């Protein structure tokens, strides 16, 4: 790793001399050229699988950039796109000479079209909508063509604004019904009154949206273009503008102020991809992975529509000071719309630490260890990390005479490669754990060199679609060594790459902050030679869940690196179970016959079908009927969320006095145990764990 850094730093020092020779001033155009020059050299020479900056690359950047600026296709016309298209195969040439003519043309046109649209939407919203006409809108805007002229563009605005107003109108009508139900003397507002309120609300929302967009500076706009170039290399390579870099530094320091959720832009929508363990959203219990945030309100203020808004801008409205209320209008993955309240708080790194619990199952005591992240402090090696904490937790639970362990890696997005190797070493004597490869170099085998085994008994590892990176390294090693049964979703996330963060000011002397580049520099491979890239880790026991048929994981990202394999490392499988294959076969059969898992699978298919149906009626009666039908269909699956496994989870003995003196910790553990008592997946994992038998001679030896 150090050798690679020296090469990269030397390269960038040369680059800085070359680029520095060309640029003299510190104004924005000069800074833009510097960024383009640095980006080109770093990506071409430092990325694991560099793209040829050619005409094909140019077309990809063209599409990325134009789509990112106008995902709902309500600003650009086809004639604009045709005019931009003269650069379609020239962007590569511009990048090579640090020219930004394409960017300037598109950005200037966007500013012009946005200014024009301020007149459109105000005029449209000044007149009542006819919600009795048979009209539909396809909310998957990627399927739509650009408007051929200005009149068509105005019609695009009419449909989209009518849809926004319709959603608000339906909410207001439902509120009136609720008020009348609670108070029979309440005088309900008329349909026309509520229709006007819905338009006024939509107008206020758009006014605020455009006010916010008007405040964006050049750096924020230009970073969008830079990312259109960076993300063409792979989905994990990206440019972090100074503001975003600052936010990233805060999160790496382990403290975030907000709702405790990781968000991602998907087409025109802001989607939840992770709910941070122990954070405000996690404690509230209503926000889930896959939910789409449609609107954000600050307490009881009017909600702001964030559909179509850039992710960074949406986040500015969602985050906030501790103690303030974020009222989110969310679209659940079953299509239902719900308003939830989350009180913002400090999300401490403590919530990413290892925690454990014990449970009696069929007369035996077992331990469950939850690891939300593979954490380490690279600056202070003596501080706690996930490997040392895991070892301590195992030793503590062994003192309570547990007879098997479940390691829960669900929703664990990864972290430190080093700690993943060390944790794998807690369960094997020694040997290779993972293979890491730089571009054009032979693979490096990363070994566990500590012969000590902390646990030599039955082991189950739980994963899901959000288990990624370091989680996949650990799970793959346990599977290849035949050390544990991997149980969970059909496959894990499938991220088989490693990134480094390079602050660009380290390599070029410039007065302003240039931000940083997160760049993919390595791929990693299992000890059996296969990559987890795209394919992930295939579970030994595949459990259906609500995301089974959804677009999820690395394979559904833009421009992911391909799957491949290298030579197998020399390793000796553990092979100390008497009945490993039998237990796996029995569990898969049991799952296939379980009515609850059948219902979950049926629900997943229904959710996928719902997600694929993107055409919405703009006739109120039909719209209302569709909403009601969706609600009725979802009731069939209500029993899934009400399931209870009737298991009693108890904190380890060492934690009992800590909870007695710390009410917050006690409350967190209470919530965690309540969630586990409703977890059908943990129940099946315990069933598998209880059936695993260790070979007699190993038991005698121990």
Q: Looking at residue 297, which CATH number applies to its domain?
A: 2.30.42.10
697 and 665 fall within a common domain: yes
Tell whether the model's pLDDT for residue 5 goes beyond 70.
Answer: no
**Pair 246, 370 in one domain:** no
Whether 20 is in a domain gets the answer no
Of 333, 348, 363, the position where a domain reaches its end is 348
Inform me whether the pLDDT recorded for 485 exceeds 80: yes
Residue 279 to residue 558: CA distance in whole angstroms: 29
How is residue 436 written in tokens? 């890491």
pLDDT at 10: 35
CA atoms of 469 and 411, how far apart (whole Å): 11
| pLDDT attached to residue 478 | 98
* Residue 280's pLDDT band (cuts 50, 70, 90): confident
Tens digits of residue pLDDT in 96-134: 999 999 999 999 999 999 999 998 899 999 999 999 999
pLDDT in tens, 386-400: 999 999 999 999 999
For residues 292 and 154, state if they share a domain: no
In a domain, 455, yes or no: yes
Q: Please give the angle made by the CA atoms of 164, 165 and 170, to the nearest 5 degrees.
A: 105
Q: Which residues pair with 510 in a beta bridge?
A: none
As a whole number, mean pLDDT of residues 79-92 equals: 97
- pLDDT score recorded for residue 282: 78
Q: Please state, rounded to an integer, the average pLDDT across all residues of the chain.
A: 88
At 299 the pLDDT is 86
Q: Are residues 248 and 294 in the same domain?
A: yes
Domain finish residue from 233, 266, 290: 233
Domains held by the chain: number? 3
Q: Are residues 106 and 249 in the same domain?
A: no
* Two structure tokens written together for 97: 């000479």
Least confident of 15-29, 147-161, 244-258, 319-333: 15-29
Question: What sign for the dihedral angle of Cα 372, 373, 377, 383?
Answer: positive
Residue 60 lies in a domain: yes
Of 159, 331, 373, 495, the catalytic one is 495
Catalytic pick from 234, 291, 448, 480?
480
* Predicted pLDDT of residue 143: 86
Q: Is 577 helix (H, G, I), strand (E, B) or coil?
A: strand
* Comparison of pLDDT for 648 and 243, the residue scoring more: 648
Task: Please check whether residues 458 and 570 belong to one and the same domain.
Answer: yes
405-446 pLDDT per residue, tens? 999 999 999 988 999 999 999 999 999 999 999 999 999 999
Question: Higher model confidence: residue 550 or residue 519?
Answer: 519
Q: Looking at 58, 117, 223, 469, which residue is catalytic?
A: 469
pLDDT of residue 257: 56
Percent of the chain residues past pLDDT 70, beyond the cut = 90
pLDDT beyond 60 at 470:
yes
Establish whether 480 is a catalytic residue. yes
Would you give the DSSP letter of residue 383? S
- Its domain, for residue 480, covers 353-496+531-701
Residue 88 — very low, low, confident or very high, per pLDDT cuts 50/70/90? very high
pLDDT at residue 372 tops 80: yes
- Asked whether residue 514 is domain-assigned, the answer is no
Lowest pLDDT segment from 48-57, 168-177, 204-213, 255-264: 255-264
Is the whole model's pTM more than 0.95, yes or no?
Answer: no
C-alpha to C-alpha distance for 34 and 28, rounded to whole angstroms: 10
pLDDT of 562: 95
Q: What distance in Å separates the CA atoms of residue 369 and residue 389, rounded to the nearest whole number?
A: 11
pLDDT at 300 over 90: no
What pLDDT is attached to residue 586?
Answer: 98
Is residue 475 located within the same domain as residue 604? yes
CA distance 117 to 91: 28
Q: Where are the beta strands (DSSP E) in 65-192?
A: 136-138
**How far, in Å, CA of 224 to CA of 221, rounded?**
5
pLDDT, average across residues 181-185:
90
Half-sphere exposure of 352 (CA within 13 A, CB side): 27
**Averaged over 490-513, what is the pLDDT?**
87
Any domain includes 518: no
Q: Are residues 644 and 553 in the same domain?
A: yes
On the CB side of 181, CA atoms within 13 Å amount to 6
Most confident among 141-155, 327-341, 583-597 (mean pLDDT): 583-597
Q: Is the pLDDT of residue 657 over 50?
A: yes
Residues 337 and 396 in one domain: no
Strand order in the sheet with 355-361: 541-542, 485-488, 459-463, 405-408, 364-370, 355-361, 649-650
- Rounded to an integer, what distance in angstroms lies between the CA atom of residue 27 and that of residue 32? 9
Active site residue 469: yes
Average pLDDT over every residue of 614-621: 95
Residue 133: both structure tokens together: 């006409």
Q: Is 251 inside a domain boundary?
A: yes
Pair 318, 286 in one domain: yes
- CATH code for the domain of 617: 3.90.226.10
Respond yes or no: is residue 179 known to be catalytic: no
pLDDT bucket at 379, cuts 50 / 70 / 90: low
> Given pLDDT bands bounded at 50, 70 and 90, which one contains residue 9?
very low
More confident residue, 597 or 330: 597
- CB distance 652 to 687 below 8 Å: no
Instruction: Please check whether residue 9 lies inside any domain of the structure.
Output: no
**Residue finishing a domain among 212, 233, 254:** 233
Q: Give backbone dihedrals phi and psi of 514, rounded to 5 degrees, phi first.
A: -90, -5
Does residue 461 sit in the same domain as residue 584? yes
Residue 506 lies in a domain: no
Determine the average pLDDT of the residues in 452-470.
96
Residues 555 and 687 placed together within one structural domain of the fold: yes
């Amino acid at each position: 790793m150090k050798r690679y850094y020296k090469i990269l730093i030397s390269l960038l020092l040369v680059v800085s001399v070359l680029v520095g020779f060309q640029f003299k001033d510190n104004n924005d155009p000069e800074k833009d050229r510097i960024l383009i020059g640095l980006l080109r050299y770093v990506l071409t020479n430092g990325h694991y699988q560099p793209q040829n900056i050619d005409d094909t690359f140019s077309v990809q950047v063209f599409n990325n950039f134009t789509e990112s600026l106008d995902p709902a296709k309500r600003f650009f016309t086809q004639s604009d796109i045709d005019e931009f298209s003269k650069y379609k195969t020239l962007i590569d040439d511009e990048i090579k000479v640090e020219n930004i003519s394409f960017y300037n043309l598109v950005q200037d046109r966007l500013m012009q079209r946005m200014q024009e649209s301020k007149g459109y939407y105000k005029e449209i919203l000044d007149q009542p909508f006819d919600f009795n006409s048979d009209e539909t809108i396809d909310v998957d805007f990627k399927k739509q063509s650009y408007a051929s002229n200005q009149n068509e563009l105005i019609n695009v605005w009419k449909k989209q604004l009518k849809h926004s107003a319709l959603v608000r109108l339906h909410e207001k009508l439902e509120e009136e019904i609720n008020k009348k139900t609670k108070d029979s003397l309440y005088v309900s507002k008329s349909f026309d009154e509520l229709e006007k309120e819905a338009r006024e609300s939509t107008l206020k929302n758009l006014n605020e949206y455009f006010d916010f967009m008007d405040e964006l500076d050049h750096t924020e706009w230009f970073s969008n273009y830079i990312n259109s170039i960076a993300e063409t290399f792979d989905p994990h390579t990206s440019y972090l503008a100074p503001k975003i870099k600052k936010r990233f530094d805060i999160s790496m320091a382990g403290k975030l102020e907000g709702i405790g959720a990781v968000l991602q832009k998907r087409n025109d929508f802001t989607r939840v991809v992770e709910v941070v363990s122990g954070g405000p959203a996690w404690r509230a219990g209503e926000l889930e992975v896959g939910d789409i945030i449609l609107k954000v309100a600050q307490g009881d203020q009017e909600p702001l529509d964030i559909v179509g808004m850039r992710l960074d801008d949406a986040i500015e409205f969602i985050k906030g000071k501790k103690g303030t209320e974020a009222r989110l209008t969310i679209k659940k993955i079953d299509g239902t719309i719900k308003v939830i309240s989350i009180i913002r708080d400090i999300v401490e790194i403590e919530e990413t630490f290892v925690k454990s619990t014990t449970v009696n199952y069929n007369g035996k005591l077992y331990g469950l260890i939850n690891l939300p992240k593979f954490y380490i402090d690279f600056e202070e090696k003596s501080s706690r990390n996930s490997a040392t904490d895991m070892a301590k937790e195992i030793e503590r639970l062994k003192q309570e005479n547990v007879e098997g362990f479940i390691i829960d890696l669900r929703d664990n997005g990864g972290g430190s490669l080093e700690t993943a190797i060390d944790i794998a070493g807690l369960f094997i004597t020694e040997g290779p754990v993972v293979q890491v490869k730089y571009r054009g170099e032979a693979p490096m085998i990363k070994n566990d060199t500590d012969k000590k085994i902390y646990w030599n008994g039955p082991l189950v590892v739980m994963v899901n679609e959000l288990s990624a990176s370091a989680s996949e390294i650990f799970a793959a090693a346990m599977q290849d060594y035949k050390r544990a049964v991997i149980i969970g979703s059909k496959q894990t996330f499938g991220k088989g790459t490693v990134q480094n963060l390079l602050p660009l000011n380290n390599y070029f002397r410039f007065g302003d902050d240039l931000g940083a580049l997160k760049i993919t520099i390595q791929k990693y491979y299992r000890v059996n030679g296969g990559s987890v890239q795209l394919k992930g880790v295939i579970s030994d026991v595949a459990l259906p869940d609500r995301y089974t048929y959804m677009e999820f994981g690395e394979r559904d990202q833009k421009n992911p690196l391909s799957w491949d394999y290298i030579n197998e490392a020399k390793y000796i499988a553990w092979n100390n179970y008497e009945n490993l294959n039998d237990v796996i076969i029995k569990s898969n059969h049991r799952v296939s016959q379980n009515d609850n898992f059948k219902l979950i699978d049926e629900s997943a298919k229904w959710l996928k079908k719902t997600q694929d149906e993107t055409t919405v009626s703009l006739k109120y009666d039909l719209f209302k009927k569709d909403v009601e039908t969706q609600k009725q269909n979802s009731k069939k699956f209500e029993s899934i969320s009400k399931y209870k496994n009737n298991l009693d989870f108890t904190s380890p003995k060492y934690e009992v006095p800590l909870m007695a003196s710390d009410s917050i910790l006690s409350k967190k553990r209470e919530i965690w145990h309540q969630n586990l008592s409703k977890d059908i997946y943990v129940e099946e994992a315990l069933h598998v764990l209880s059936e695993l038998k260790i070979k007699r001679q190993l038991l005698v030896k121990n």
